């Protein structure tokens, strides 16, 4: 049974006011189109979780979607600050819960594995654990030492972008894997966006490349260029110019709002967004070709 649906429909069906949302992707495969659709649909009171909030959450915070942020690094990668998030945190308008990367990812690992907690090694830097009550300690029964642990993170909804999937949601990803798989397994519901929907024979020709199985996926949305200004390995490049531009235009709430008006509220969907970017940008972001070689699985 096909799970293919439009992105607006998938957001309507699976994302609710007050949800804990994990829109995944470590610099790679960030599902910007889904974030924009959440903004367009006016969802509020969301708890936004991501190791690296990136521009997608800066925009969602600017649009007033978020009540709380769970994160481990709030920077514009390679550029500087996330101004809207930073302003919201400094002014006390946004609740937050903060981890190191390994703490954040360990929470997802526990959530994805159905385990009660994950242990971590001592870091020597105790300030964060003292400020965040989710960090707890147990006594290592083997050494007698205190071990810091974090509890499972089980988002209501994960949004995952992938290079390709079949209609059932069996998804293949290459390039940086980030926390995509853990976010999918940890979450109660999963929306998958993909550059290409392929026949299941393509997936089955290389089962080791399947990162997320259809059984945990609720909706499959065909959204080419979903990740722009982030990128999809082998499909298009990261639009670093936009990351620099956002740094400037998001310095004021007005600047961010003007962007949202023009590029989110003013457009119906990702196809219109991509069109509006224009052919020069399209050309600038072309990925070029560098192919892997086929491997033989054998016919048995």
Partner 1 sequence: MDELPYNAQELMVVNAARLLKDHDVVFVGVGIPNLACNLAMRTHAPNLQMIYEAGVIGAQPARLPLSIGDPTLVTGATAVCSMYDIFSLYLQRGNVDVGFLGGAQIDQFGNINATVIGDYDHPKVRLPGSGGSMEIAAWANRCYIITPHQKRRFPARVDFHTSAGFLTGGDARTKTGVRGGGPQAVVTNLGILQPDESGELVLAAIHPGVVFEEVQENTGWTLKQALNCQVTTPPTEMELQILREKLDPNRIYI
Nearer to a copy of itself, 1 or 291 (CB): 291
First to last CA, the chain: 28
Say if residue 229 is preceded by a cis peptide, omega within 30 of 0: yes
Helix (H) or strand (E) holding 277: helix 270-277
Q: Extract the tokens encoding 22.
A: 């994990």
Please state, in angstroms and rounded to a whole number, the distance separating the CA atoms of residues 107 and 117.
7
Using the contact rule CB under 8 A, the part of the chain among 29-37, 59-67, 231-239, 275-283 near a copy of itself is 231-239
Q: How far is the CB of 87 from partner 1 (least distance, A)?
A: 9
Nearer to partner 1, 6 or 188 (CB): 188
Binders of partner 1 among residues 156 to 185 (CB under 8 A) are 170, 174-182, 185
Give me the sign of the Cα torsion angle 197, 201, 205, 211.
positive
Nearer to partner 1, 271 or 287 (CB): 287
Nearer to partner 1, 37 or 179 (CB): 179
Binders of a copy of itself among residues 20 to 59 (CB under 8 A) are none
Burial category of 188 from C-beta neighbours within 10 Å (exposed 0-12, middle 13-18, buried 19 and up): middle
Using the contact rule CB under 8 A, the part of the chain among 38-46, 125-133, 247-255, 269-277 near partner 1 is 125-133
Please state, in angstroms and rounded to a whole number, the distance separating the CA atoms of residues 209 and 225.
21
Binders of partner 1 among residues 214 to 273 (CB under 8 A) are 214-216, 231, 233, 237-238, 240, 243
Partner whose footprint covers residue 24, from partner 1, a copy of itself, none (CB < 5 to 8 Å by kind):
none
List CB contacts of 27: < 8 A, sequence separation 6 or more: 52, 54, 77, 176, 178, 230, 238
Which SS3 state, helix, strand or coil, does residue 60 take?
helix
Binding mask 146-185 for a copy of itself (x = CB under 8 A): -x-x-x-----------x--------x-xx-x--------
Residue tagged 């997320």 (tokens): 212
* Residues in contact with a copy of itself by the rule CB under 8 A: 114-121, 136-143, 145, 147, 149, 151, 163, 172, 174-175, 177, 202, 205-206, 208-209, 233-235, 237, 287-300
């Amino acid at each position: 049974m096909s799970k293919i649906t439009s992105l607006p429909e998938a957001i309507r069906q699976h994302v609710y006011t007050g949800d804990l949302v994990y829109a995944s992707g470590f610099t790679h495969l960030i599902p910007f189109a889904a974030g924009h659709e959440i903004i367009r649909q006016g969802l509020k009171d969301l708890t936004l979780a991501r190791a690296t909030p990136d521009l997608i959450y800066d925009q969602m915070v600017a649009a007033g979607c978020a009540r709380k942020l769970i994160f481990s690094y709030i920077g514009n990668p390679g550029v500087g600050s996330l101004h809207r998030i930073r302003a919201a945190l400094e002014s006390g308008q946004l609740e937050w819960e903060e981890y190191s990367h390994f703490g954040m990812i360990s929470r997802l690992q526990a959530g994805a594995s159905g385990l009660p907690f994950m242990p971590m090694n001592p870091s020597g830097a105790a300030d964060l654990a003292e400020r965040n009550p989710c960090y707890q300690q147990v006594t290592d029964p083997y050494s007698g030492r205190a071990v810091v642990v974090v509890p499972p993170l089980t988002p209501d909804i994960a949004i995952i972008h992938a290079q390709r999937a079949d209609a059932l949601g069996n998804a293949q990803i290459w390039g940086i894997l980030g926390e995509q798989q853990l976010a999918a397994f940890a979450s109660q519901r999963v929306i998958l966006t993909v550059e290409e929907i392929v026949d299941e024979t393509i997936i089955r020709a290389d089962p080791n490349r399947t990162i997320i199985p259809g059984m945990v996926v609720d909706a499959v949305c065909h959204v080419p260029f979903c990740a722009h200004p982030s990128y999809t390995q082998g499909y298009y490049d990261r639009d670093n110019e936009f990351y620099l531009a956002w740094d400037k235009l998001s310095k004021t709430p007005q600047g961010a709002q003007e962007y949202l008006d023009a590029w989110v509220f003013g457009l119906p969907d990702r196809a219109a967004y991509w069109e509006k970017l224009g052919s020069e940008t399209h050309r600038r972001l072309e990925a070029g070709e560098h192919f892997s070689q086929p491997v033989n699985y054998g016919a048995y």
